[in-house]
Structure 1
Amino acid sequence: MRKNPLTPNRPGVFMQMKPPFSRSSRLSPLLLTLLAFILFVSVLYAHNLLFISRQHPHPSGESHHFNSSPDVHHSSHIPERVIRRRQEAVPFAVGRTQEGCDVFSGSWVRDEAARPLYEESECPYIQPQLTCQEHGRPEKEYQHWRWQPEGCDLPKFNASLMLETLRGKRMMFVGDSLNRGQYVSMVCLLHRLIPPEAKSMETFGSLTVFTAKNYNATIEFYWAPFLLESNSDDAVVHRITDRIVRKGSINKHGRNWKGADIIVFNTYLWWMTGSKMKILLGSFDDKVKDIARMSTDDAYRMAMKSMLKWVKQNMDPNNTRVFFTSMSPSHTKSVEWGGRAEGNCYNETRPIEDWTYDWGGEAERGIMRVIGQVFGKSKVPITFLNITRLSGYRKDAHTAIYKKQWNPLTPQQLANPASYADCVHWCLPGLQDTWNELLFAKLFYP
């Protein structure tokens, strides 16, 4: 990350500046010290901002990498305004992002030297749905791509800084299996610094807890695919086609999130039913259930408002941070990027090279509009991690057929691997490590 010369290197220390006075000016050392201190404080607090991030148009259409395109639908509805904190510093910040740098707009570049950030075999916490090498993927090309923002750099992920920051604290990921993948990625990025006897991973129903004992810290995942209470809340048995969400029920899960210092929310995939959502107006315990039908956009808007209300009531903006991760793209139809009509992510080994590629249809754009509308009207300090566009290029990074298959495959499936390829979830190590690099950047350099 390129630093502004005024960016503090550590609390109370800043790089020397030449005073804006001529040599003939006669000022006492005390006055110069006072002026320098005033300048330092004003710059420090002027840049403590939380962004609801948006994509900036790429300045040119030429690149041999894979660039974000201008006028993207998924980003055009993210509010442009900046939510300013009052006078307090942004919690956990150690610096700031270079002015004008949009870390979500950039290119995928090959990096054989520094990628992957860890080896699959080194991290015992990756669930078998994501261990692609163990399950026979014949190449590792998907592991060697690094996200390069346009005109600036991402700060290098610093596991020591993250663990020290989490000392005595709770970090929690809340959402569906895609957020669980990001959670596991974070654990894999950190656990090597912790001795075997000083770390553990335990699951208690919907809650999974990784404990770093020497730091008195936990990194947790809570299964809540809709954030609101639903009939899909069982952490194991939740593959329910006829999904029902209970209105105004976020506290059912939210009571388990209280006390977290950093929360990363996501919710998207489970809302995509292809029809109107069923909304429970009463209780799941009612003998006769009062169920209304609502458009996906309206139902999702209801959930977003509930989430923001919960954050306002339960998260102290002076001491805590809240993030929301945008939609994770799937790649189920290769015709969308110029491939075969019957193909999907199976056998894909390179990112999409057309930088004008725009993932998603009207349903996905509707969800993004809702996010922009709800967040744009809210004053709740929440940082939007816009991973949708950059992940949309990564048709190569899905688990496809290289994962544990929970059900026996039929002869017909075995004869046509594309028919059972998982083009939703992502191999680890891989793309979701980049999501955590972006989270790291926004946590420490807002």
Structure 2
Amino acid sequence: MVVTSPLKGQSHSHSFTKFLPYALYALLPIALFRLYFHPFPFPQSTTDQLSHNSRIILTTSSSSSSSPPLSFSKEEEIANETPCDYANGGWVHDKMGPLYNGTTCGTIKDGQNCISHGRPDLGYLYWRWQPSQCKLPRFDPNTFFHLLSNKHIAFVGDSMARNQLESLLCMLATASYPNLVYKDGVDTKFRRWHFASYNITISVYWSPFLVRGVEKSKTGPDHNELFVDTVDARWGADLDHIDMIVLSTGHWFLHPAVYYEGGSILGCHYCPGLNHTEIGFYGVMRKAIKTALETIIERKGANGNGIDVLLTTFSPSHFEGEWDQAGACPKTKPYKEGEKMLEGMDADMRAIEVEEMETAKVNAKQFGGLRLEMLDVTKLSLMRPDGHPGPYMYPFPFANEVQERVQNDCVHWCLPGPIDTWNQILLEVIRRWSIQSRREE
């Protein structure tokens, strides 16, 4: 059968056919650029349907009390026999980039949304952490949903806890969008999200010291007040309803403070003008972590409900200049192995956390149903001076002209960014726990 072309003249048709592939090649990068920075949002119903379809394979109904075990390959089982040291390794180039961008999840704190704030260099997005002696898989949201279905996960601590939480929500949002079900007034320090298809609740509790604290204010004292023998009542009151808790603390102990223990003044840190003994903050930070871990173990262990406890280690800052000077954290690439050593305060803060977690693990053995682990992210974070918002904590800070003085954030992490790796490790710890549990059944 001969089909007549609607175009008049074969020469024109051949010309069109000849140049069509070139036109497609030219349009492809433009389309990819458009999708990355301005993705088409999924309607809520579509996202829920996608997550539901994925869940048919991986999970049971959220109304059930338990989920069927994940099917792990023999290779995965063998690989998980020996715990992986995720703390040591190096950053390697990754052409795949992050799972999400700054416009797709809607939960990023404005000051960490570096892409939407006009950060011009995007090279910091294309690195992945490679442990020295094992593999760290790419984050899989469906695996997370399966392993934690019907659970309440709480991030408790300072702004680094919030930073990690928002990273996790963004990665999970690539499979199922989180529904904000609670917000403490206009504040973002206490929030709660729910993934209905999996009956997973994820909360964040602002508790920069983990223990009870009174933050300095314009109308009150110009120093913080800490009560090191009592946990913060806000998260402590909900502890019985939490299945997994991720603790994070450190930076707030650097601020001036007066410490109390047993109803008496223990001492202070940087409190000139007050008649208190200067005792620094290391010992107090140790007491606060110890109080938090002991309270969790005693309460959850005694009632037999059990809990999973993770402690995220100290995340170093990267100020190379004054906070209000241009170029305070100017690096655009990670440090190479051996180029930056873990030492000084960064090493001391991490050491306290590691030691207290090891002690807590021993104490937890007297109870059943308790699993405790470190998220040792100090070294891998130390090696990423390029991952902070810097001046891009504000939108387009140099839009008019280069400012001599501009506030910089060299503490928190851009989203997406290096902090996504923390949640990759979190998921691997949870996955290993699941494999171990299946073996013990």
TM class, shorter-chain normalised? 0.5 to 0.7
Normalising by structure 1, what TM-score? Answer: 0.67
2:189 aligned with 1:209: no
Task: Map 1:219-234; keep pairs closer than 5 Å.
Answer: 219-232=202-215
**Superposition deviation, residue 324 in structure 1:** 0.1
Provide closer, same or farther for how the CA distance between residues 10 and 259 of structure 1 changes in structure 2, counting only shifts above 3 A: closer
**For 2:380, which of 390, 413, 419 is the aligned residue?**
390
The SS at the match of 1:193 is coil
Task: State the partner residue of 1:249.
Answer: 230
Larger Rg: 2
Determine the C-alpha separation between the residues in 2 that align with 1:267 and 1:294: 19
Task: State the partner residue of 1:414.
Answer: 403
Amino acid at match of 1:393: M
Task: State the partner residue of 1:305.
Answer: 290
Amino acid at match of 2:385: K
Check whether the contact 1:135–1:403 (CA below 8 A) recurs between aligned residues.
yes
* Deviation per residue, 1:210-230 (Å, 9 max, x gap): 111222221111000000111
Task: State the partner residue of 1:111.
Answer: 94
How many residues end up aligned between the 2 structures?
Answer: 339
Amino acid at match of 2:260: L
**For 2:331, which of 337, 342, 348 is the aligned residue?**
348
2:314 aligned with 1:330: no
Determine the C-alpha separation between the residues in 1 that align with 2:275 and 2:318: 37
Task: State the partner residue of 2:413.
Answer: 426
**Superposition deviation, residue 10 in structure 1:** 5.6
Provide closer, same or farther for how the CA distance between residues 432 and 14 of structure 1 changes in structure 2, counting only shifts above 3 A: closer
Determine the C-alpha separation between the residues in 1 that align with 2:191 and 2:219: 16
**For 1:171, which of 153, 156, 171 is the aligned residue?**
153
Provide closer, same or farther for how the CA distance between residues 265 and 290 of structure 1 changes in structure 2, counting only shifts above 3 A: farther
Task: State the partner residue of 1:120.
Answer: 102
Determine the C-alpha separation between the residues in 1 that align with 2:388 and 2:309: 27
Amino acid at match of 2:340: Y
Task: Map 1:143-182; keep pairs closer than 5 Å.
Answer: 143-182=125-164
Provide closer, same or farther for how the CA distance between residues 190 and 416 of structure 1 changes in structure 2, counting only shifts above 3 A: same
**Superposition deviation, residue 203 in structure 1:** 1.4
**Superposition deviation, residue 300 in structure 1:** 1.0
Task: State the partner residue of 2:23.
Answer: none
Determine the C-alpha separation between the residues in 1 that align with 2:328 and 2:132: 27
Provide closer, same or farther for how the CA distance between residues 95 and 238 of structure 1 changes in structure 2, counting only shifts above 3 A: farther
The SS at the match of 1:129 is helix
Provide closer, same or farther for how the CA distance between residues 200 and 372 of structure 1 changes in structure 2, counting only shifts above 3 A: closer
**Superposition deviation, residue 256 in structure 1:** 2.7
Check whether the contact 1:10–1:94 (CA below 8 A) recurs between aligned residues.
no
Determine the C-alpha separation between the residues in 1 that align with 2:283 and 2:427: 32
Gaps of 5+ in 1: 1-8, 17-92, 336-341
Higher relative contact order by CA 8 Å / sep ≥ 6: 1 or 2? 1
The SS at the match of 1:174 is strand
Task: State the partner residue of 1:199.
Answer: 179
